Structure 1
């Protein structure tokens, strides 16, 4: 594991990164609020190892004040909450399954200060299975809502492919009242216009995974790919803009580039 000093030394190399131009930069009107910028820790899983604290410290030094969790890295909820507090971070959101012990999910969420509890993945072969999943999700959502939490669903591309003449995403939307954490990379990969999808679901899209798409279809750091985030953001508004890259070449550079991109973007 790198020490905090080596992490920050590595971050120093990003000081020479170029400014990010956008198609809307000639007539700036809006920007992403800094308090709405977060990062999914899955992006940094390769360097977190069994000690999240140096990475959390480096993220705080970049400027992040929010993170989204994807597990606790062997810590208890109380231990992770203390670690976040020491680094002046809040974990407003988490990825977790909801088919298990909901009492434990709720207890951990309360300890960690979550607002959103998001199911990150589901895949089934039939519409009947998708419908049953959606009903279980809605049932869990009702329990979480009584506890003051919001259940959500995070998409990939396969939910937009037809199964027995229906899109699984539409099944989830119709059979639940959960909010959606719209992964922009996977929506575009699935052939969906994020703006049209947002407005068809309004006001249920409350979080974005802001993930760029390379020309070859792979993952890219923000501003290095082909997705026109300025166009999307100009027509929509969400509570959280969560930086993510599923396969970063350098996770801390990805975090730095993503934060600066969202801070500098005008639309």
Structure 2
């Protein structure tokens, strides 16, 4: 009786998908233009938000992380640890050759546990990913908590950041919540992780936002926007990243797509776009 061939492993499946992604043509916007400056995004500054890959992580994130390392990523930003403790997930990261330099986490829980986990994971930054309030008083109260948490994390050797969406740029009782946050916190304790897609969606010029808050913007979520307002892989949408990067300077460029059609293709296209972009 002939034995059936073994079923392909999950890692084999992901490797095949990765190879398929590698065949995607790099967007023309990433090519160098004769006569233009030749600045580039340093490879060591490129990261990816693992929220982009949440639907393929399953109960075993290691093959996905290995696929990211094969693409060229050396850094990731976490959005949870997929049912594992910080110690367990840190071991997975070490095996795949990745560093979680940043994590998304809230500040209204146990800050001592947050700090301990961040240290275990090797984080440099912890970033509040999302809040939304109906009143200005609530935004001000949150800002007070944010500044206090930032002070505590700084004393523990960590940086605390805030990640925007579009709603922070819409006035609440005549004032933008984003302005409440920046006025009510200090650059010593709270930096900004500017999500470029959401800034543009909120009607804000990212370069003007950067300049108005210099030097507090340390991280970018590099996320493209299609003409219809939906999410797009890097270089396939309408955001002029070259112009933004030419006028700014941050420590991390974090690839993200909230609704990718194929998460590994998104990761591949995003990494290749940033590596090949000249500005």
Q: Same fold (TM over 0.5)?
A: yes
Question: When the two structures are superposed, what TM-score results if normalisation uses the length of structure 2?
Answer: 0.94
- Contact between 1:20 and 1:265, CA under 8 Å: does it hold in 2? no
Structure 2 counterpart of 1:262:
274
- Contact between 2:47 and 2:253, CA under 8 Å: does it hold in 1? yes
1:108 paired to 2:117: yes
1:19 paired to 2:41: no
Q: Which of residues 192, 200, 205 is equivalent to 1:180?
A: 192
Aligned alpha-carbon RMSD (Å)? 1.2
Question: When the two structures are superposed, what TM-score results if normalisation uses the length of structure 1?
Answer: 0.98
Deviation, structure 1 residue 20:
2.9
Deviations 1:42-62 (A, max 9, x none): 000000012110100000000
- Contact between 2:27 and 2:236, CA under 8 Å: does it hold in 1? no
1:74 paired to 2:83: yes
Structure possessing the higher radius of gyration over alpha carbons: 2
Deviations 1:209-240 (A, max 9, x none): 00000110000000010000000000000000
Q: Which of residues 3, 24, 28 is equivalent to 2:10?
A: 3
1:232 paired to 2:232: no
Unaligned runs of 5+ in 1: none
Structure 2 counterpart of 1:252:
264
DSSP 3-state at the match of 1:171:
helix
1:210 paired to 2:222: yes
Structure 1 counterpart of 2:44:
35
- Contact between 1:20 and 1:264, CA under 8 Å: does it hold in 2? no
Structure 2 counterpart of 1:88:
97
Q: How many pairs align?
A: 267
Structure 2 counterpart of 1:220:
232
Deviation, structure 1 residue 17:
2.2
**C-alpha separation between the residues in 2 aligned to 1:2 and 1:104?**
36
Deviations 1:24-76 (A, max 9, x none): 62324200000000000000000001211010000000000000000010001
Deviation, structure 1 residue 2:
6.3
**C-alpha separation between the residues in 2 aligned to 1:118 and 1:227?**
24
- Contact between 1:22 and 1:266, CA under 8 Å: does it hold in 2? no
DSSP 3-state at the match of 2:203:
coil
